[in-house]
Chains A and B, each alone.
Chain A
C-alpha cells in the first residue's frame, strides 16, 4: 500500500 501513513518523502 502507498497510503499516507507510509509517506516519508517531502
Chain B
C-alpha cells in the first residue's frame, strides 16, 4: 500500500458515497445512467469473487464488501425505489456493445485460462468502459448537475491515481500487471474531456454545460 493507492481507493469510495448521498437526499436519480451503474455492479461482482477464496487483509475485504453492497444498492435505488425519477429516455447507450467485446477480449487476452482469472480480466476490461453510458447521457442532455460532476471527477481521479500507484509499484516493488495498467490508462483517458470541462467550468462555480 502506497499513498497513491490509498488516495485512489479513497477517491473511489468518495465517488460512490457522493452518488448515494445525491440519490438519497434529493430522492432522485435524475441525470444518472442506470446502465453505467448496472455495469459497475457487474464489474464488482465478477472481480470480487475472490472474497470467498482468498483473504488479503481486513481493509481489502471491507472495501470489497462496501463496493459490492453500494453498487448493488445503487442499482436497487435506481430501478426500484426511485424508479419514477430515472431518466431512461436519455439513457440509451447499448451496453451489449461494451459487454460482448470485453467478454470476448477477456477470453483471448488473460494471464491464465481459468474461470476466476477470466472473470477478473473481464471485470477490468468492463470497468475501463463502464462509464461510457454515463458520459453519453451527459453529452446527450448537454449538461450535468454539479453533484453529478463531482461524482464523475472523483470516479475518474481514482483510476488516474492508480496509474501513479502502478508506476510506484513498478519502480519500488518490481510489480506490474499489464492488463490492469493498459485498461486503467484507457479508463482514465475516457475522462480527459470531462476533466477539462470540470476544471474550466465546475470549479469556477458554473454548471457543467456542453457547448451547443
Contact = CB atoms under 8 A, between A and B. Distances in A.
B117 A4 contact: yes
A1 to B, nearest CB: 7
B162 A9 contact: yes
Do most interface residues of chain A lie in helix, strand or loop, or is the interface mixed?
loop
A5 B116 CA distance: 10
Contacts of B177: 2
B162 A2 contact: no
Interface range on chain B (Cβ under 8 Å from partner)? 20 to 34
Interface range on chain A (Cβ under 8 Å from partner)? under 10
Contacts of A10: 9, 12, 60, 63-64, 67
Interface in B51-79: 53-54, 56-57, 60, 63-64, 67
Interface of B: 5, 9, 12, 50, 53-54, 56-57, 60, 63-64, 67, 111-112, 114, 116-117, 120, 162, 165, 177, 179-180
Interface of A: 1-5, 7-10
